[in-house]
Amino acid sequence: MSHEVKGEAMMRLVYKRCAGIDVHKKMLMVCRVRINEQGEWEQEVRSFGTMTCELLLLLDWLLEWGVTHVAMESTGEYWKPVYNLLEGHVEVLLVNAQHVKHVPGRKTDVKDAEWLAELLVHGLLKASFVPAKPQRNLRDLTRYRVNLVEERARTIQRLQKVLEHGNIKLASVATDVLGVSARRMLEAIVEGKANAATMAELAKGRLRNKLSDLEKALTGIVEPHHRFLLAQHLAHIDFLDEQIETVGQQIEQQLKAMPALQPPADSGSQQTQQEPAAEAQGAVPQPPLTWQEAVDLLDTAPGVDQKLAQQVLAEMGINMRQFPTANHFAAWAGLAPGNRQSGGKRFSTRLSDGNRHLRTVLTQGAWAAVRSKGTYLSALYHRLAARRGKKRAIMAVAHSLGISFYHMLSRRQPYQELGADYFDQRSKGVKTDWLLKQLNKLGYNVQLEPLAQPA
């Protein structure tokens, strides 16, 4: 433990009683700071363990000096137990480790804690967004469901690998190797009692049009250890399906228990020019926004279903007032291009770092949206993919989808489809001139007459 008194600080003091915590797996190095009535700087440094009993001692040690704000780096998962215990007693600022770089060559745990505390005293730290506990619980559930779905996909790949080892080419004929027909065939293979022709007759629906191909695909060299592995994989897939269903039900219950978002007291300042006039005439204020209503709002966008909407809201929440603008939200989601300039030159504009879980979900939604016909997002993708490539185009669509989510939740309005001809209508004159030039190059003289508008 150390204690020292410094002279009056030259920089502006923002927090006079605060602390910095250097977080590790088994220990915490904590520096508490206070500015006394004489304007002198006092600080103490002490180490604590990470067990709950020792974290309670840390809280008492901080409150002994009346600490109001605490800063710590977002180190893996180790910051979460500390945050959970300090939350509600002091203001906790979780800061990005890349924003708190110290002088090279002077790296110790004590100096890290002191440096965090000193930066916090002068208000030089920017806190990362940490949602409230109910939303963090919802995040845990949605991310776990994603892990289960990914594990199910990996198990299906292992099952297909076993089929290939046994010379069974079912995946070459059936689109879904776990469909109703294919599942019956796999169970017959596990039992080992049916020949290829008999198993092909188990097909249903349109798959019966491929009976001859099925018989060839089901003719293989299946050994007992292949049957054992197939049985284990099928049992594992059934277990994962049950787990995914159970977690999905828990997510729905968690959504119902989530607190609704109350409309802001100054909601009139965020309305359009027509809306204040309506409010002046006695318009009924909007009721609180529930999480299920938010899910239904996002579900109106192309490429979005209930599950994807749940994942998006678990990451971003329903309160868009925490982001100053839509561009701030896009940067937080990791969908905004970087801004790196020096000496008048512009360098790489790779996507900025952000919430990788949200970026992944929005990218999945973008891939689904671009497959929809006659939509703005599909037109945006094909317009950009032709000259910028598919990867950049899909990230642009994900960015546009995220911006739409921001405005849909801010205004509590469903998705407004702009149409596949949005870009042509936006620059109608430019498009017309370009087409006329192309026709002139081909030797045609064209005069345009606008169509009569229907009555």
Chain segment 57-88, per-residue pLDDT in tens:
999 999 999 999 999 987 788 999 999 999 99
Q: Strand, coil or helix: what is 230?
A: helix
Looking at the structure, tell me whether residues 293 and 417 fall in a common domain: yes
Looking at the structure, tell me whether residues 244 and 321 fall in a common domain: no
Residue % of the chain over a pLDDT of 90: 65
For residue 23, what are the domain limits? Answer: 2-121
pLDDT band, residue 33 (cuts 50/70/90) = very high
* CA-based R_g, the chain, Å: 30
Looking at the structure, tell me whether residues 252 and 355 fall in a common domain: no
Chain segment 73-132, per-residue pLDDT in tens:
877 889 999 999 999 999 999 988 777 766 565 678 888 888 899 899 888 888 888 899
What is residue 107's predicted lDDT score, i.e. its pLDDT? Answer: 75
Residues 242-265: b if buried by 16+ CB within 10 A, e if exposed: eebeebbeebeebbeebeebeeee
How many domains in the chain? 3
| Dihedral angle computed from the Cα positions of residues 414, 417, 418 and 420, in that order, rounded to the nearest 10 degrees | 160
Looking at the structure, tell me whether residues 388 and 307 fall in a common domain: yes
Residue % of the chain over a pLDDT of 70: 89
> Which domain-ending residue is among 121, 150, 174?
121
If you average pLDDT over residues 343-349, what whole number do you get?
67
Name the least confident of 17-21, 192-196, 306-310.
192-196
What is residue 10's predicted lDDT score, i.e. its pLDDT? Answer: 57
Assigned domain for 379 exists: yes
What is residue 455's predicted lDDT score, i.e. its pLDDT? Answer: 58
pLDDT band, residue 378 (cuts 50/70/90) = very high
Question: Over 60: is that where the pLDDT of 431 sits?
Answer: yes
Assigned domain for 345 exists: no
Looking at the structure, tell me whether residues 306 and 404 fall in a common domain: yes
Assigned domain for 275 exists: no
Looking at the structure, tell me whether residues 233 and 148 fall in a common domain: yes
Looking at the structure, tell me whether residues 295 and 417 fall in a common domain: yes
Gap between the Cα atoms of 51 and 49, Å rounded: 6
Looking at the structure, tell me whether residues 81 and 22 fall in a common domain: yes
Assigned domain for 265 exists: no
The pTM of this model reads 0.84
Gap between the Cα atoms of 278 and 373, Å rounded: 37
50, 25 Cβ separation under 8 angstroms: yes
Looking at the structure, tell me whether residues 240 and 304 fall in a common domain: no
Looking at the structure, tell me whether residues 220 and 251 fall in a common domain: yes
Q: Strand, coil or helix: what is 417?
A: coil
Looking at the structure, tell me whether residues 141 and 242 fall in a common domain: yes
Looking at the structure, tell me whether residues 113 and 157 fall in a common domain: no
CA 7 to chain centre: 46
> Which domain-ending residue is among 239, 257, 275?
257
